[in-house]
Amino acid sequence: MILGMFVLGWIAVNYPMSPTKIKLFVWHKSLGISILILVLLRIAWRLTDRTPALPNHMRTWERRLAHTSHMLMYLVMVTMPLSGWVINSAANFPLKLYGLIRLPNIAPAGKALQTQAELVHFTFFWILVALLLLHIGAALWHHFVQRDEILTRMLPGTTRRLRKAAD
């Protein structure tokens, strides 16, 4: 969903002013708010459940880098939709989730705030691109160079198998 939002956000911003541009933004905003809800649920789940241990061969710096980059990705995944919502509120556009549910403004209207929120949205987008290059590169490195189970254990049902083996 996040990767789709990159494409959608980029196309919407660069599309010439037209009813299609408005539609692209309606989808961008509705999907973005849906991502915010899913990420908050994921964070609650992550804080209350165990995660499978990292492979034993991983050195301390690798564990720290993995942990830090994951935490940063969660931070960016919350900041992206929130800053988008602030842009919308500062611009005083009505925000309707999938054209159905009216959402309140979360910030006062104002051009200066809108410009600042746009800068945050844009900057965090590039921060997320950098983190994802590291993230996807690391996943491929684990799979093809280290040849461990980090990538394949993302498949459904794997966590249950790993937990059974650990208990």
Where along the sequence are the contacts to ligand HEM (CB under 6 A)?
Answer: 2-3, 5-6, 9-10, 13, 28-29, 32-33, 35, 46, 51-52, 70, 73-74, 77, 80-81, 84-85, 87-88, 95, 118, 121-122, 125, 132, 135-136, 139, 150-151, 153-154
Nearest distance in Å: CB 72, ligand HEM: 9
DSSP assignment of 6-47: HHHHHHHHHSPSSHHHHHHHHHHHHHHHHHHHHHHHHHHHHH
Nearest distance in Å: CB 43, ligand HEM: 9
* Amino acid identity for residue 148 in this structure: D
Q: Per the structure block, which two tokens stand in for 97? A: 């989730």
CA pair distance 99, 5, nearest whole angstrom: 18
For strands 95-97 and 101-103, give the pairing.
antiparallel
Q: Which residue number, 6 or 65, has a Cβ lying nearer to ligand HEM?
A: 6
For the chain, how many residues are written?
Answer: 167
Q: Which residue number, 49 or 167, has a Cβ lying nearer to ligand HEM?
A: 49
Q: Which residue number, 128 or 167, has a Cβ lying nearer to ligand HEM?
A: 128
Nearest distance in Å: CB 131, ligand HEM: 7
* Amino acid identity for residue 27 in this structure: W
